Amino acid sequence: MIKKRWEHFQHQADVGVRGIGASKEEAFQQVALAMTAIVAELGSIVARDVFEVECEAEDDELLLVDWLNTLIFEMATRQMLFSRFDVWVGSPKLRARVWGEPVDVEKHRPAVEVKAATFHEAKVFQNEEGAWVAQCVVDV
């Protein structure tokens, strides 16, 4: 059984984010959590307010980068942090429901600001165990 999870990987001055799951949707969900975990402790973010986003791209790697950059834009413009993601991928489109709450500096103690998801090391693939992996490097 494939256990969904997220992780960070080292990359010079930036941070690699990786999501792993039994489906492409779970991998995209987990990589979003990995990115949020760079900013704040996930357990401190209440999944209170919900909204929907859509992305479209020519391939899965472009879709991954667009997905994360859309979340970065939404974090900045809504001044929110997110802790829950329901994702549907039907290439070339991605639709998602995103839950979170407004940033509270005392409660969330944001560590850094994620500026952008990059194409560096951007990969979406199914590994030898059958798990889906979505990863890229984000600029902090």
Residue type present at position 69: N
Q: What is the pTM of this model?
A: 0.94
- The pLDDT of residue 4: 86
Q: Compute mean pLDDT per 10 residues along the chain, 140 residues long, and list them.
A: 82 88 97 97 96 96 98 97 96 94 94 93 96 96
pLDDT value of residue 3: 84
The predicted pLDDT at position 5 comes to 86
Domains present along the chain, CATH in parentheses = 5-139 (3.55.10.10)
